[in-house]
């Protein structure tokens, strides 16, 4: 187990190096750079080169890369080219917002998908099952940006209400915070729940046909108890990976929902940085996502050991 863990952690290095290098190169292949944004308004054209020199953007790509790599290995990602604040400080500020949104969304996904999938499978072909399937298909087919826009506009139109505009940290004012996060969290969560519910249902249907369920019932275990004790834990195993990856994806930011609901999270930070060619910010953000994805996947793999006794890592 320990050697497995070490191997997996060691894999982080090439993954992060690869992701970082890819982003470094791709960003510089895009037309334009931060100087365009910095000097967009009223500068002498001759000063562009000067600013490029100051920011180190005039160096050959290889030199820039070596300089970047040298700093990145010490987790020094430098300052944002636009705000001149450390990029990690910007990321630290945005992260709790995306983390909370991801947490709420994932919780809603689990709360809807697991019971929904179990009930739909347990009552296969009943009205409940059909309702669950139709609703999940509906949410699958509905883009979150559209749902988000409607969720914002319709209450404003009919009731003169929208969630609070100002981001309020959870610890400062939990109620206001929830008022702000619940709607976007629900929209994201229901979108993911649509996939998870269908998956949960099909897993449950498969598990419910297994011999050990039949055995459990034959031994006198009542339906609900058999499902709770034996079917659900087994059906949940593949979904753990889904929930984990969904959480990681949401933590990486959901630009559209963050934009519509005015949440200054990681997604908005990254897209802004990409648009304005704020290289250090994009590189730091992408490396963070890569790191987080790898760690989440590692955690999921380790969880399997506990969820499924048959899984052993050597």
User: Between residues 32 and 238, which has the closer beta carbon with respect to another protein?
Assistant: 32
User: Between residues 154 and 224, which has the closer beta carbon with respect to another protein?
Assistant: 154
User: Between residues 64 and 149, which has the closer beta carbon with respect to another protein?
Assistant: 149
Rounded Cα gap, residues 243 and 253, in angstroms: 16
Residue 278 burial by CB count (10 A; 0-12/13-18/19+): exposed, middle or buried?
buried
Closest C-alpha among 230, 299, 282 to residue 87: 282
Evaluate whether 144 touches 187 at the Cβ level (below 8 Å): yes
Least Cβ distance, residue 165 to another protein (angstroms):
5
User: Between residues 10 and 29, which has the closer beta carbon with respect to another protein?
Assistant: 29
Q: Which residues bind another protein (CB under 8 A)?
A: 31-32, 36-45, 47-48, 50-51, 80, 82-85, 90, 93-94, 149, 152-153, 155-157, 160-162, 164-167, 259-264, 268-269, 272, 275-277
Least Cβ distance, residue 32 to another protein (angstroms):
4
Least Cβ distance, residue 44 to another protein (angstroms):
6
Least Cβ distance, residue 187 to another protein (angstroms):
14
Evaluate whether 185 touches 101 at the Cβ level (below 8 Å): yes
Least Cβ distance, residue 255 to another protein (angstroms):
10
Closest C-alpha among 96, 73, 47 to residue 258: 96
Taking phi over 0 as left and psi of -120 to 50 as alpha, with beta for the rest, 251 belongs to alpha
User: Between residues 85 and 123, which has the closer beta carbon with respect to another protein?
Assistant: 85
């Amino acid at each position: 187990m320990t050697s497995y863990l070490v191997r997996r952690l060691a894999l982080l290095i090439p993954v992060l190096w690869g992701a970082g290098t890819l982003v470094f190169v791709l960003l510089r292949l895009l037309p334009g750079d931060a100087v365009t944004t910095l000097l967009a308004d009223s500068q002498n054209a001759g000063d562009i080169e000067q600013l490029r020199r100051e920011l180190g953007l005039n160096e050959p790509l290889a030199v820039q890369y070596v300089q970047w790599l040298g700093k990145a290995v010490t987790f020094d990602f430098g300052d944002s080219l636009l705000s001149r604040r450390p990029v990690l400080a910007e990321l630290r500020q945005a992260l709790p917002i995306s983390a909370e949104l991801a947490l709420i969304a994932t919780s809603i996904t689990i709360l809807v998908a697991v019971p929904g999938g179990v009930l739909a499978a347990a009552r296969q072909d009943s009205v409940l099952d059909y309702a669950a399937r139709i609703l999940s298909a509906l949410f699958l087919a509905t883009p979150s940006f559209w749902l988000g826009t409607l969720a914002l506009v319709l209450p404003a139109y009919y009731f003169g209400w929208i969630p609070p505009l100002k981001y309020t940290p959870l610890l400062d004012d939990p109620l206001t915070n929830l008022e702000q996060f619940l709607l976007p969290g629900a929209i994201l969560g229901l979108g993911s729940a649509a996939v998870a519910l269908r998956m949960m249902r099909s897993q449950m249907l498969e598990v419910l046909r297994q011999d050990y369920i039949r055995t459990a019932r034959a031994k006198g275990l009542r339906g609900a108890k058999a499902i709770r004790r034996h079917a659900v834990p087994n059906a949940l195993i593949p979904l753990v990976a889904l929930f984990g990856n969904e959480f990681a994806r949401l933590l990486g930011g959901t630009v559209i929902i963050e934009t519509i609901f005015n949440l200054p999270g990681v997604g908005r930070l990254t897209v802004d940085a990409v648009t304005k060619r704020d290289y250090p910010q994009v590189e730091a953000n992408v490396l963070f996502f890569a790191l987080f994805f790898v760690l989440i996947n590692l955690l999921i793999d380790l969880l399997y050991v506990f969820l499924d006794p048959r899984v052993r890592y050597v």
